[in-house]
Amino acid sequence: MKVESVRGMRDILPEEAPLWQRLEAEIRATFALYGYREIRPPLVELAALFSRGVGETTDVVHKEMYVFPDKKGLKLALRPEATASVVRAYVEHGLYAKGDLAKLYYMGPMFRYEKPQKGRQRQFHQYGVEALGSLDPALDAEVIDLASFLMERLGLRREGLLLRLNSIGCAGDRVGYREALRQHFLPRASELCADCQRRLAENPMRILDCKQPQCQPAIRSAPKSVDHLCDACRHHFQQVREHLDALALRYGLDHTLVRGFDYYTRTVFELASRELGAQDALLGGGRYDDLVELLGGPATPGVGFAGGMERLVLVLQAQRGEQTDETPELACCVVPIGDEARKKAIELLARLRRAGVSADMEYMGRSLRKAMQVAGRRARYALIVGPEELEQGQVKVKDLATGEQRLLELQEFSAAPEALRSRFPR
């Protein structure tokens, strides 16, 4: 029986893995510069975490979440996003007890049951930060600055980045705003798609997320959340904008931007790139000042963002297309000549690796000529272990880039690791 991968679950093959590793390293390094530490929540959580945290009426929970019972009938979910998990962990482990700002980041697979398309699989990967414990509007701006700086480090030009910004106010503001939306959409209900007709009854703010063309006229003329802010929220938003100006981060106000999750409060934002053709969002985030309390912790504000890694891999791939990287994967391929020499070769191979020289050898029973061809593709040097050289206490090193050959004394393999390593400069 031939077993294939599940629809929407894609393998990342060895050819692609170096790009992912580079991306992960850049993300980690950038987050560390801003004082974030990694947290690794599990992929499986109680389904209730997301229906409570993200919102029962959101598309992500309502339509796309993988939900299944375990053997005891407990209703579990594969995480569709990580903010709810991070906040759950923050509450569960009492991270708030230190009375300090908690700056946490994560990276890893998320799961949503959507129609798979290029760059959007059912298992996809996200990275993100969460800063928990402060209402300071400077922190909203810092999170946005971090997002922008990360994109710049990955080679996207700052001038090409599009920052969309909005404030959706606090829970109190949204009571009035939802009512205004209901009043606006109710007479237009017949123009709306079937999903939006349901949203109108359940949660009219979610109509603003709709991408259906037929809903756009009604969305464009909808009331603006910024006109429904209380004094504190209006002041907060004003300060966020001043900090962004001070950081020379340009933005456009987008009154239809509400983000697809119910936990957001006040600041919401999205970052897109003009360089990527279609103006798809690279990442998005905002404040969620009620989520910690909603999940059973003490009232604690939070702000963060999440972005898709697949999108960034495409960016890096496009960059790589311009430059060719011919560095071979290994420093050295060991090529023995004859069975006696092979035993010695295996020993030398182990010594190379312990000295920090990446190395491999021929295991496929190829001829010497074929083995040298393979070495030429994989490594910078071939270490040729032949009976005649061995008798002299030596092995031959061939530089596969220049064709130069030299002899190496066997005793060098017992020298200090740095000394042996220096014999194989990359």
Q: Which is nearer to Zn ion, 190 or 323 (CB)?
A: 190
CA 108 to chain CA mean position, Å: 6
Q: Residue 90, SS3?
A: helix
Q: Which is nearer to Zn ion, 156 or 170 (CB)?
A: 170
Q: Which is nearer to Zn ion, 71 or 211 (CB)?
A: 211
Interior CA angle at 40 toward 36 and 44, to 5°? 145
Q: Which is nearer to Zn ion, 170 or 384 (CB)?
A: 170
Q: Which is nearer to Zn ion, 215 or 395 (CB)?
A: 215
Count the neighbouring beta carbons within 10 Å of the beta carbon of residue 186: 11
Retrieve residue 304's tokens: 């963060």
Binding site for Zn ion (CB under 5 A): 169-170, 173, 193, 196, 210, 212, 215, 230, 233
Q: Which is nearer to Zn ion, 32 or 171 (CB)?
A: 171
Q: Residue 364, SS3?
A: coil
Measured CA to CA, the distance from residue 125 to residue 159 in angstroms comes to 26
Count the neighbouring beta carbons within 10 Å of the beta carbon of residue 392: 10
Per DSSP (E only), the strands in 212-276 are 252-253, 265-273
Sign of CA dihedral 353, 356, 357, 360: positive
**Rounded to the nearest 5°, which phi and psi values hold at 289?**
-75, -10
Q: Which is nearer to Zn ion, 110 or 218 (CB)?
A: 218
CA-to-CA separations, 410 to 342, 344, 383, 397, in angstroms, rounded: 14, 10, 12, 12
Min dist. Cβ of residue 315 to Zn ion (A): 30
**Rounded to the nearest 5°, which phi and psi values hold at 219?**
-70, -40
Strand-strand pairing, 75-78 and 37-38: unpaired
Min dist. Cβ of residue 142 to Zn ion (A): 21
**Closest by alpha carbon to 98, among 133, 71, 66?**
133
- Computed on alpha carbons and rounded to an integer, the radius of gyration of the chain in Å comes to 28
Q: Which is nearer to Zn ion, 65 or 170 (CB)?
A: 170
Min dist. Cβ of residue 239 to Zn ion (A): 14
